[in-house]
A and B are shown apart, each in its own frame.
Chain A
Amino acid sequence: MNAPPKGPPHTHPRPSATFDAYTLSEIRRAAVTGVYDIRGGGAKRALPHFDDLLFLGASMSRYPLEGYRERCNTAVVLGDRFAEKPIELKIPITIAGMSFGSLSAQAKEALGRGASAMGTSTTTGDGGMTPEERGHSSLLVYQYLPSRYGMNPDDLRRADAIEIVVGQGAKPGGGGMLLGQKITERVAEMRDLPEGIDQRSACRHPDWTGPDDLEIKIQELREITQHKVPIYIKIGASRPYFDTALSIKAGADVVVLDGMQGGTAATQEVFIEQVGIPTLAAIRPAVQALIDADMHRKVQLVVSGGIRNGADVAKCLALGADAVSIGSAALVALGDNDPRWEADYQALGTTAGCYDDWQAGQDPAGITTQDPVLAARLDPVAAGKRLANYLAVMTLECQTIARANGKSDLRNLEPEDLVALTVEAAAMAKVPLAGTDWIPGQNGY
């Protein structure tokens, strides 16, 4: 037994809440490297989120549907405002844009397989469309990004929809980034870049500068695709009311709204954590813009950013979205951050569940890499099946909640079905604090 320390008693060591362990480690890292921290994924900080909302369910005043027998529609049509061939989804959960380059070819194939098995769409990313991706995706949305890497009109015509990316939730106002480790020969060739350089994409489109120009750009895209496919506009959640209103004005068929929990392949940590607003805070203003323009359900709203399960999907739909999009969760379903690779994660100085150096190209799970040895770890057939299973579970969960609230269609869920657990969530979602009729900011309170 150790002898007690001499002198007066010491207080217990007390870590600073301001200078916590992570902050201290970041200061040390910055002091040594002189470069900002880059990582993948979305905001990791605690934010008001869908867990802060609850469904009320049915009771005396509401009539539930039979949970296992009565039909509850999950299908949704996207893009029927102007397009001749709108997207018909069997489930309201799509796969968000992720590039070949940031992801391995195997991962892109698995996303296509999983989405196609469930009758939903997947999306390209910065760097263009690969034949494997097109081949394994029954519904493929083609992202039209500021960099226009790999952009060609043949692929544009091969797509089932076009998504003009104005911004993304992880970095509204920022461009793409792909570091040299992942600019392999094939990626470089697709993007017309020298092999191995650090690619830092433009944040603004090169040939339009505002909604008036964008309206004309959309006209051009429709002329080139002969008005067949829907045109989405993707916005990062920052000023969702105005951005949605301007997207409608510019002629979008669909608005994709990405909150700050939405992932990115790589960007500055400070950007991910400090710019943009949470998904929960963005939905109601966007829906209000649609309602004010008499375009709710006419221009569809797809919400993304931190959606993890069927309850999150149901809450998005109840707040007025038509569908959701998942990225980070889909990668986890494929095998991202799987504890089976714990030894490899440890060797990289991290642990399963925390690995976010997606820019480094050393992903033990073979997903965010262009290393052929690592990429071969991911079986695209098995991973695709896992994604399909996960999408099925999310859909079943969403239906369970919808039936419990007496809804025969997922999109019949409504704000009246929800309450909030916190004042913040009540104010953002514009639903009452549980057990009260108080919605902060409404009726003068």
Chain B
Amino acid sequence: MSNSLIEIDLDQTPLRDANRQMQDATAEAFRLLHPRGIHALAAGLTQPVQVTIAGHAGFYCAGMNQQAAVTVEGHAGVGLAENMMSGAVRVTGNASQSAGATGHGGLLVVEGDCASRCGISMKGIDIVVGGSVGHMSAFMGQAGSLAVLGDAGPDLGDSLYEARLYVRGRVDSLGADCKEKEMTAHHLDKLARLLDRAKVKADPRDFRRYGSARRLYHFQTDNLDAY
């Protein structure tokens, strides 16, 4: 890896070539110019490179990221950092639906709002949203944490497994098998560390915690009304 910053003008460089350069880590840092909402930007990175996208990104930006630190200076489309394994992804604007979907690890920070299904099927990723999240966020969330500084839309945490949810604002409604839980000192500490990692200023004591009621882990006919 050379010790340098490479600028890639996406008006001049095909997506495949741009991604290949970042996947091969031909430099320590990359700055992508004129992204114009291109899909699958910075997808499949495996090395600890720094990537800055100077503008809006399309679908699946930083998809399946491993180790890289990707910053979007703008908004991001559907499936931002989907299935991220490690590393960090930050968006200064808003993100469309399914941000952080199925992510196994790493840190996703969206400074603005996220649309529906933020953190759907999350499997260990940590997500911090500066604004609000849409409906069905953290649906079937298995592991990891979702912290929302704003509000959460309807059916938060529906069919939740063991993901931890923290919301500072209003929750429109909780999904099936999701319930409010006590914010213990342990959780306050966890949340404080998460907010610190995300470089977000907020008091953990202003948040409420939600998690799985674990009533639906085994199907029982008495729970029919839950579906």
Contacts and interface: CB of A to CB of B under 8 A. Distances in A.
A26 to B, nearest CB: 16
B6 interface: no
Contact of B85 (A33, A153, A208): A153
B212 to A, nearest CB: 9
A153 B219 CA distance: 32
Interface in A184-232: 192-194, 197-198, 200, 202, 206-208, 213, 216-217, 219-220, 223-227
B102 A223 contact: no
Interface in B113-149: 117, 120-121, 123-124, 139-140, 142-143
A219 B63 CA distance: 11
Contacts of A35: 219-221
B121 A227 contact: no
B98 interface: yes
Given A216-B59, A216-B60, A223 B218 contact: no
Contacts of A34: 221
Interface stretch (B25-33, B76-84, B167-175, B202-210): B76-84
A225 B15 CA distance: 14
B60 A148 contact: no
A224 B217 contact: no
Interface residues of A, number: 30
Contacts of B85: 152-153
Contacts of A207: 60, 78-79, 82, 97-98, 101-102, 120
Given A148-B102, A220-B39, A153 B143 contact: no
A220 B79 CA distance: 10
Interface stretch (B40-48, B182-190, B192-200): B40-48
B64 interface: yes
B218 A197 contact: yes
Contacts of A206: 82, 98, 101-102, 117, 120-121, 139
Contact of B121 (A202, A208, A213): A202
Contacts of A198: 217-219
A376 interface: no
Given A202-B140, A227-B16, A193 B161 contact: yes
Contacts of A225: 44
Interface in A141-164: 147-148, 151-153, 156
A156 B97 CA distance: 24
Contacts of B143: 192
Contact of B23 (A152, A219, A226): A226
Contacts of A223: 15-16, 19, 40, 43-44, 63
Contacts of B218: 180, 197-198
Contacts of A148: 83, 101-102, 121, 123
Contacts of A220: 39-40, 43-44, 59-60, 63, 79
Interface in A18-74: 33-35
A206 B79 CA distance: 8
B164 interface: no
B162 A194 contact: yes
10 contacts: A153-B83, A192-B143, A194-B217, A207-B98, A213-B78, A219-B39, A220-B40, A220-B63, A220-B79, A224-B43
Given A148-B123, A208-B78, 19 more contacts: A148-B101, A152-B83, A152-B85, A153-B46, A194-B161, A197-B161, A206-B98, A207-B60, A207-B79, A213-B59, A216-B58, A216-B78, A217-B79, A220-B44, A220-B79, A223-B19, A223-B40, A224-B63, A225-B44
Interface of A: 33-35, 147-148, 151-153, 156, 180, 192-194, 197-198, 200, 202, 206-208, 213, 216-217, 219-220, 223-227
Interface of B: 15-16, 19-20, 23, 39-40, 43-44, 46, 58-60, 63-64, 66, 78-79, 82-83, 85, 97-98, 101-102, 104, 117, 120-121, 123-124, 139-140, 142-143, 161-162, 217-221
